[in-house]
Amino acid sequence: MSFNNLQLIEPVLKALDKEGYTVPTPIQEQAIPIILQKRDLLGCAQTGTGKTAAFAIPILQLMSHPENIHPGPRKIKALVLTPTRELAIQIEESFKAYGKYLDLKHLVIFGGVSQVNQVNAIRRGVDILVATPGRLLDLVNQRHISLQDIKYFVLDEADRMLDMGFVHDVKRIISKLPSKRQTLFFSATMPPEIRDLAKILLTNPAKVEVTPASTTAETVQQSLYYTEKNNKRSLLIHLLKDNAIQNALVFTRTKHGADRVSKDLNRAGIRAEAIHGDKSQNARQAALQNFKSKRTRVLVATDIAARGIDIDELSHVINFELPNVPETYVHRIGRTGRAGAKGLAISFCDFEEKIYLKDIQTLISKSIPVISDHPYNVPLMHSSAKPEGQTTASSSSSFRGKRSPGGGKRYGRTFTQGSFAR
């Protein structure tokens, strides 16, 4: 299957070819024909599956139809609502790339920056708007934006909207949309609140589900290091001295932790930057751009700040701290091994995180192989045998894969109070 088989128009195919994309991912292969048929869509897909292109490509094609082209000022006809600034920016970049040869104007708006330039761009005319909920509502309430002409509405990362407390804002925005529209709804998970919202929004939707959120991509090789909490920074520096780790996205649970880890790495001569909600928008974008362009080798991030980060050929994700929500582990390691490429996910586990590890392995229904031959290892006690899944394999390697746009059983033993050396 290639994009040539999806009945795409020549300008879109030309743009995809220029980007080096020839083979659609499974969600693109399934969703694009459905959207081109003007049907509502319920998409359940985790990060890294290529869902942005799955809706951006057909929306661009539908928007280019003569029925959507009228004389006079441009009016917003497509709205993409997404929870974070970083994700909004990357979605708009996708529209720019895939719509390179189409006469369509697109704009991204988000909070944390002056609205002046955004308002001026809206006045000049916009066809496709990508927005975060807060700034969109502000500009709607100030009457700078009208949603009366929306024909295509995308709600992206619906579960993250719920996590971040945006559901009420989303409902206010929905109340201002025309009842006659095509709606595309995407979420990595489907908790009850999200299912209820989908029922309100969608009319006789087609459903596309790719890689359930409780499973990790087969393209990601996972490994686990047991270590004392105080030794985590030394272990991280030890691993990053291996040049086979081309670049790494390192996760912490807190903003303070991200700053501290970044400073420790820089003191050790490893170029790193932190990205989290307390950073200014300009600082976050600069750090992300430095990481994308490989000027910075390591990006240390909190979960919300990292949502939507899309880096081609990200070799490693490192969980400096395990997340306390097991689904977050799946989202984190989905940053690597994207769109068929290979990746490596490394996790550190200290005594206090043993319950998080248990929940993660229950969710993904597999054990994470343990690597014990490292200088900061905390041995499992009461047994001379290696735990199930333990390995002495090297923890780092580099991978390559074909480009597409985008994108067991339970662990054999649990920790006891005596599992870690004191």
Distance separating alpha carbons of residues 400 and 226, to the nearest angstrom: 28
Find all residues with CB under 8 Å of 1, minimum gap 6, and list them. Answer: 23, 24, 29
- Starting at the earlier edge strand, list the strands of the sheet with 106-109: 106-109, 128-131, 78-81, 152-155, 182-187, 41-45, 206-210
Q: Which of 339, 354, 373, 344 is nearest to 418 (CA)?
A: 354
User: DSSP per residue over 299-329, as a string?
Assistant: EEE-HHHHTT---TT--EEEESS--SSHHHH
Q: Is the pLDDT of residue 98 over 90?
A: yes
Taking the alpha carbons of 148, 202, 102, 94 in that order, is the dihedral positive or negative?
positive
Report the range of poorest mean pLDDT among 26-30, 82-86, 301-305: 301-305
Least confident of 60-64, 306-310, 387-391, 412-416: 412-416
250-295, pLDDT tens digit by residue?
999 888 999 999 999 999 999 999 998 778 778 888 998 899 889 9
- Two tokens, residue 304: 């919300």
Using alpha carbons, select from 255, 194, 264 the residue that is nearest to residue 233: 264
Neighbours of 312 (CB within 10 A): 11
Q: What is the pLDDT of residue 418?
A: 33
Count CB neighbours of 33 within 10 A: 15
Q: What percent of the chain has pLDDT over 90?
A: 54
User: Would you say how long the chain is, in residues?
Assistant: 422
First to last CA, the chain: 56
Q: How confident is the model at residue 136 (pLDDT cuts 50, 70, 90)?
A: very high
Mean pLDDT, rounded, for 167-181: 94
Give the pLDDT of residue 407: 52
Cβ count near 157 (within 10 Å): 23
Count of Cβ atoms closer than 10 Å to residue 409 Cβ: 10
51-63 and 85-98 helices, crossing angle to 10°: 50
For residue 199, the model assigns a pLDDT of 93
What contacts 24+ positions apart, CB below 8 Å, involve 234-237? Answer: 234/376, 235/348, 235/374, 235/375, 235/376, 236/261, 236/264, 236/265, 236/318, 236/320, 236/348, 237/264, 237/265, 237/268, 237/270
Tell me, what's the pLDDT at 278? 78
DSSP string, 232-299: HHHHHHHHHTSTT---EEEE-SSHHHHHHHHHHHHHTT--EEEE-TTS-HHHHHHHHHHHHTTSSSEE
- Listed in sequence order, the residues at least 6 apart from 114 whose beta carbon sits closer than 8 Å to its beta carbon are none
Give me the residue label for tokens 């990601």: 220
Query: Residue 241 to residues 216, 226, 236, 265, 364: CA-CA distances in angstroms?
Result: 27, 19, 9, 11, 30
Give me the domains of the chain, ranges plus CATH numbers. Answer: 3-210 (3.40.50.300), 214-422 (3.40.50.300)
Instruction: Judge whether residue 82 has pLDDT over 70.
Output: yes
Query: What gap in Å lies between CA 88 and CA 67, rounded to an integer?
Result: 27
| Cα separation values, 381 from 368, 387, 414, Å | 19, 11, 12
At residue 201, the 3 state secondary structure works out as: helix
Task: Specify the pLDDT at position 402.
Answer: 42
**pLDDT score recorded for residue 395:** 41
Give start and end residues of each alpha helix (H) in 20-50. Answer: 26-36
Dihedral over alpha carbons 380, 384, 385, 390 (to 10 degrees): 40
Q: How far is residue 295 from each of residues 168, 181, 357, measured CA to CA in Å?
A: 40, 43, 33
Nearest CA to 87 out of 151, 160, 137 is that of 160
Whether the CB-CB separation of 332 and 306 falls below 8 Å is answered with yes
pLDDT category at 48 given cuts 50, 70, 90 is low
- pTM of the full structure: 0.63
Question: What integer pLDDT is reported at residue 101 of this predicted model?
Answer: 95
Residue 170: pLDDT band with limits 50, 70, 90: very high
C-alpha closest to that of 334 among 90, 51, 97, 29: 51
Instruction: Check pLDDT > 70 for residue 422.
Output: no
